[in-house]
Amino acid sequence: MKEIEIHKRLVIANIIFFILSFIFLEYSKVFRLSFDKHWIYSSGHNWWIMVALPSAFWGSLSLCFYSILKIKKRKFLYCILSLAPIFLFIILFLQNDLEWQFRIK
């Protein structure tokens, strides 16, 4: 039972980490054209590409495999919740891609 509680906390922490990293990325876009504060924009994107995105993806995959192998009750629910950052990334990527397609035309 204690194993499930720790796993729940890890899944929630992974989702919160992904969301906070995405908020930091979106906030850093405000400073894109500012000459003095362009470093915020570049550090936000560096954080996203080098740290947040790979760790969220690897964390999601490892938590999903762990839930399938070790958790006995509701293992597929925990697997789907573990993959939530990947699903969020795909949704946000497609939404951003569609915005650019309609903006160009």
Name the residue among 60, 48, 71 with its Cα closest to residue 12. 60
Rounded to whole angstroms, the Cα distance separating 15 from 102 reads 30
| Token pair recorded at residue 11 | 């899944």
In the chain, the N- to C-terminal Cα span, in Å, equals 55
Decide which of 100 and 76 is more confident.
76
Domains of the chain by residue range:
2-104
What is the number of other CB atoms lying within 10 angstroms of the CB of residue 64?
20
pLDDT tens string 25-44: 888 888 888 888 888 888 88
pLDDT computed for residue 103 by the predictor: 63
- Could you tell me if 67 and 96 are in contact, meaning their C-beta atoms sit under 8 angstroms apart? no
pTM of this prediction exceeds 0.85: no
